Structure 1
Amino acid sequence: MTLETVVFSVNGKTLPHTSAALDESAEEAVRTAQFDIAWTGAGIPCAPDDEATITVTGALWGTGYVRDVRPGHDENSRTYSVSFVSRSCDATECSIDHPTGLKRDADLGDIAREFDVLGVGVEVKARTIKKAVHKVRPGETLFQTLETDARAQGVLIHDSPEGKLVLADKPEGRHAGALVRGVNIKGASASLSGATSFSSVKVRGQASIGVSASALRAEAEARGIARRRRPLIVPFEGEATSERLKKRAIWEAKRASGEGVSCQITVAGFRDLGGQLWKANWLVEVDDDWLGISQDMVIASLTLSQDGSGGTTARLSLKDPRALGGDNPRGKSNSAWGAPGSTDADYREV
């Protein structure tokens, strides 16, 4: 196992620490981290909004800012807790100040680049449908103006180590090796719930132009996995077309079912068998007979932790790949890990 060195640099200077916890998610636009700083100088070690980077044994993990500084002490000792936030935080917290607030004939990537007025940066890894007009509502953040269309088109918004927004519609890579009970799994748990599974997902929407049934009473339906009748009806976000309604129905069916099927696995170290740092939205094979799972899973989120008592560990939260836009894992898991959602949807005018 690689001896990992986590370096937290603020304004170009390294701050020594006694513990570190790095959090990353494929379903969150902003990665964060928490450090207990070993500071012996006068005053505080840093201030909120200082520029900061995090590297793990030389590999860039995060680019952003100091978020919170919490000093404290008793009669004999002192503590300094410092948190980090990705530079993508400006895309989720700051309003868009754009001359017109208008973009025509644009897909999601075009819209993101047009309204990235703060220069956060955007990486587009998803193919999305163009819309005739996109208007920014007063006060909207970049994330807010993208999120509605992203949800409608099955696109995830997360961030990169450079602090840019990433638009993705499927897992972005595969980790080497596998997570196997008795080999490299230190601890594991799972959650199998029927609360978010439905028998069918119907998406209904309207077009802003026309009075025909296709404009006013359009519907797409995807099959879910519930074993009894549990329908879900979702109003479509934005301008409805048959292609958009079907894509939204399939995505919602997968997402709803996938939310109820997950596992959490703790492993030693920060890397897979090939030496790659664990990454959110990457696939990995999981084989744990005590949990009844043997299939590919996608890392939805993870925490890399290092301290004097627990050592160096990674806690991975995993879901069925289709919950994040991936393909059928086709494994040998227990039937309770049933595949989420449909791969097709029916369109009709009601």
Structure 2
Amino acid sequence: MLNVIGLSVAGRPLAFDSCELTASAEEAVRSGSFDVVWVDDGLPCGEDDECLVTIDGAPWLTGYVRDINWSADPDSRIVTVSVVSRTVDATEGAIDHPTGSIEDCDLRDIAASFDTGGVGVDVEIDTEKKPLHQIVPGETLFATLEREARAAGALIHDTPQGRLKIVAGPEGRHAGILAEGVNITRASGTLSGQFNYSEVKVRGQSSFGTNGAALRPEAQAKGTAQRKRTLIIYHEGELTSARAKKRAQWEAKRAAGRAKAASITVPGLSDAAGTLWTPNWLVPVDVPRGALRQDMVIAQVSFAQQGDGSGTEATLTLKDPRALGGENPRGDSAKGWEAPGEDDPSFRED
């Protein structure tokens, strides 16, 4: 299936010679870069103009023009336009709240109260209520949400409509399989022990109470290293037993996934059923020469296309699903691809 990418700025379509698009399950802002065809004097658009990127007519990025780079000589002119999701304001603009704090709140309450820029936040997880949430002066919406998301073992990424989305674990499954010798153009991988830890400990404090659980709480989760290598993290904000254990397990998984990823390039932009490759979706992978045979989760997707639709390809960055909060893929991959499973983290109060 031939997928066609389109770009419109301020409601006007712009032709382009080539483009690159990138979205990640681990980042809050998707982006794109277009080599625009422009023969008139002046520039095709202005920075901060509203824009829309579509694939086969459906929204893929809703946002703004970020940069306009141009160069010219007597024989040619090049105009490159980069675009970003609306969620860029949640990562760069400060929260403008009258008090900077709210009481008796969960993650949905925090998102609703501190989204003062009107970006929009879809919270698809339930979290326990906390007595108080206080922002840091000058803090962005993403920063204050990300602290809570880490404690809940959740990801924050953007949507095609330019909203933030908070989820725990993979959100879908692609049709078909990525198989060496069948539909993979290029494949590579990295397995590093840099972020392997034997255990991850989370420490912090609570503002309420004077016992050990309030003053010296510590949760511990098992990692992937066989030798003694401990990662100690100090948790920002209130630390309860449930939050400490969830954070410890999440950090153990994330650490294991930081330096273990496969990169696979395939022709076209969609799977066997015509669904666009999507971050935080699962896909079966069979690459014997990389010792990789299991379900993987798409951590990042990059699309590239010429303006006439030729030369279209997708590059997928893949990780063990557990590295993004998913389940054990139970495949036949080499042990180095593993992330920690769902063990029962311990909690110490003294």
User: 1:255 touches 1:340 (CA, 8 Å); kept in 2?
Assistant: no
Shift of 1:99: 2.0
Counterpart-to-counterpart distance in 1, 2:313 and 2:155: 26
Shift of 1:264: 0.4
Percent of aligned pairs sharing the same letter: 54
User: 1:222 touches 1:249 (CA, 8 Å); kept in 2?
Assistant: yes
Shift of 1:142: 0.7
Counterpart-to-counterpart distance in 1, 2:117 and 2:349: 43
Amino acid at match of 1:42: D
The residue correspondences of 1:201-220 to structure 2 (distance < 5 A) are 201-220=200-219
Partner residue, 2:90: 91
Which is further off, 122-131 or 318-327?
122-131
Which is further off, 190-199 or 204-213?
204-213
Partner residue, 2:304: 305
Amino acid at match of 1:320: D
Partner residue, 1:232: 231
Distance 1:310 1:57, change over 3 A: closer
User: 1:320 touches 1:340 (CA, 8 Å); kept in 2?
Assistant: no
Shift of 1:160: 0.2
1:27 maps onto 2:21 in alignment: no
Which is further off, 285-294 or 133-142?
133-142
1:347 maps onto 2:328 in alignment: no
Counterpart-to-counterpart distance in 2, 1:224 and 1:342: 11
Shift of 1:342: 5.0
Counterpart-to-counterpart distance in 1, 2:16 and 2:9: 12
Shift of 1:127: 2.1
Which segments of 5 or more consecutive residues in structure 2 lack a partner in the other structure? none
- Post-superposition Cα deviations, 1:213-235, rounded to whole Å, max 9, x if no partner, equal 11112111111110111111111
Counterpart-to-counterpart distance in 1, 2:103 and 2:208: 16
- Post-superposition Cα deviations, 1:83-123, rounded to whole Å, max 9, x if no partner, equal 00101111111111122222221111221111111211111
Amino acid at match of 1:322: R
User: 1:36 touches 1:79 (CA, 8 Å); kept in 2?
Assistant: yes
Residue aligned with 2:174, SS = strand
1:267 maps onto 2:263 in alignment: no
The residue correspondences of 1:18-57 to structure 2 (distance < 5 A) are 18-57=17-56
Counterpart-to-counterpart distance in 2, 1:282 and 1:246: 26
Number of residue pairs the alignment of both structures matches: 349
- Post-superposition Cα deviations, 1:112-159, rounded to whole Å, max 9, x if no partner, equal 111111211111122222211112222111111212122222121110
Amino acid at match of 1:148: R
Shift of 1:327: 0.6
TM-score (norm 1): 0.97
Residue aligned with 2:237, SS = coil
Counterpart-to-counterpart distance in 1, 2:103 and 2:209: 20
Amino acid at match of 1:225: T
Partner residue, 2:144: 145
Partner residue, 1:330: 330
Amino acid at match of 1:335: K
Amino acid at match of 1:117: T
Shift of 1:343: 2.7
1:188 maps onto 2:183 in alignment: no
Counterpart-to-counterpart distance in 2, 1:310 and 1:319: 29
Partner residue, 1:174: 173
Counterpart-to-counterpart distance in 2, 1:138 and 1:205: 21
Amino acid at match of 1:242: S
Amino acid at match of 1:221: Q
User: 2:323 touches 2:339 (CA, 8 Å); kept in 1?
Assistant: no
Shift of 1:60: 1.1
Residue aligned with 2:185, SS = strand
The residue correspondences of 1:55-134 to structure 2 (distance < 5 A) are 55-134=54-133
Which is further off, 138-147 or 308-317?
308-317
Partner residue, 2:318: 318
Residue aligned with 2:17, SS = strand
- Post-superposition Cα deviations, 1:250-286, rounded to whole Å, max 9, x if no partner, equal 1011111121321000000000111100111111111
- Post-superposition Cα deviations, 1:138-184, rounded to whole Å, max 9, x if no partner, equal 21111112121222221211100000000111111111111000111
Counterpart-to-counterpart distance in 2, 1:229 and 1:136: 36
Which is further off, 51-60 or 145-154?
145-154
- Post-superposition Cα deviations, 1:22-73, rounded to whole Å, max 9, x if no partner, equal 1100111110100000101121000101110000111210000111001111
- Structure 1's consecutive aligned runs of 4 or more residues displaced over 4 angstroms after TM superposition are none
Shift of 1:341: 5.1
Shift of 1:310: 7.6
TM-score (norm 2): 0.97
Counterpart-to-counterpart distance in 2, 1:336 and 1:93: 37
User: 1:209 touches 1:215 (CA, 8 Å); kept in 2?
Assistant: yes
Residue aligned with 2:181, SS = coil
Counterpart-to-counterpart distance in 2, 1:97 and 1:332: 51
